Amino acid sequence: MQIEKIDDKIYFLRGSRSSNIYYFDCEKKAIIDTGHPDEIENNIKIFKDAGFQLEKVDYIINTHSHGDHNGANAFLKKINPNIKIFGSPNTEEYQNIRKKTDTLKEVEDEFEPYQIDIKLNDKDKINLGEYTLEAIETKGHTRDSISYYIEEKGYIFSGDTFYYRVITQLEYYQSIKKSIAELTETYDKLKKNPLKLMFTGHGEPIKNPIENLEFCLRKLKKFQTDNDMALINNLIPSVEFFVYRNQGVSKEKVKEFLMKNLSKIELFITGYEHEKLLRIVEKILAMVRMLNMVKFEGENLYLNNKLNEYIGIIKV
């Protein structure tokens, strides 16, 4: 792994278990997302070898509060208490409902709590000197998701809000229809900007973001009339993570994992009966096999590729 250059002031480290980390070598040093807590010491070394010091940045700028993105916030804040953490005013509410629901603990990344120093509303600006980032509220994946736009460059840093021709996981802690509506509104909002490059939370930059937003909007329109498709799309990454953490797990254990967690998100699956959910679980297992994400050896499952490869290997 090595640091890649976007332009004279922006660099990034492609994540493995972590999200991508974007470093701004501006008057005010900043990073968008800090990555997974288990990888922070190695990530610090990689940046140091390239001449950058993660622990001495002025700002940590969060895209949302999932552990592969914000997991190292507390670690860096302990090293340097002067770092200011930027994030959403909805993060506390989102984390409280996650803890209350206790969903998908087998695959979610835990992280040490931290305080957001500066809460960003839609259209708020972060002045780094050479560049100014505009915060754009981009709900759908989580209620605390924010993307960051550099108008003069046409750059957008989208976290997990958007990927190449893949609909991101929708927020579980509300009705599926509300999450679809929020993500649709987000994509419509992003499409109004003259975007040239989209830098996602995992994988390659997207060089034709407007075209891809329009493609994903068409897929979301299908989700609006076919909620089964949306539910399957949401649970495919969870199966990937579960198999990653439990190599050789039996098919029955995967089904138990899915059914147990589906029972915890009643708002999201309103109207679904038990038998229908079982059929959807079978479709999910068929999909991860068809996508070559996992391999089946008899009744046992193994991860077939690198984690997140299905969203990370496509170049536009």
Tell which residue, 157, 101, 151, has the closest CA to residue 131. 151
**Sign of the four-CA dihedral 169, 174, 175, 180:** negative
**pLDDT, position 305:** 79
Alpha carbon separation from 38 to 71, 174, 258 (Å, rounded): 8, 30, 26
Quickly state the pLDDT bin for 312 (edges 50, 70, 90): very low
Q: What percent of the chain has pLDDT over 70?
A: 97
Interval 34-92: pLDDT, tens: 999 999 999 999 999 999 999 999 999 999 999 999 999 999 999 999 999 999 999 99
pLDDT of residue 316: 28
Q: Give pTM, 2 decimals.
A: 0.94
Q: What percent of the chain has pLDDT over 90?
A: 91
Residue 313 has pLDDT above 50, yes or no: no
Distance, CA of 271 to CA of 232 (rounded, Å) = 15
Separation of alpha carbons 258 and 283, rounded Å: 12
- The mean of the pLDDT values for the chain is 94
| Domains along the chain with CATH numbers | 3-225 (3.60.15.10), 227-312 (1.10.10)
pLDDT of residue 315: 33
Mean pLDDT on 106-131: 96
Instruction: Quote the crossing angle between the two packed helices 176-191 and 209-225, to the nearest 10°.
Output: 160
pLDDT in tens, 210-244: 999 999 999 999 999 999 999 999 999 999 999 99
Asked whether the predicted pLDDT for residue 195 surpasses 80, the reply is yes
pLDDT of 256-282, one tens digit each?
999 999 999 988 999 899 999 999 999
What span, in angstroms and rounded, lies between the C-alpha atoms of 43 and 38? Answer: 10
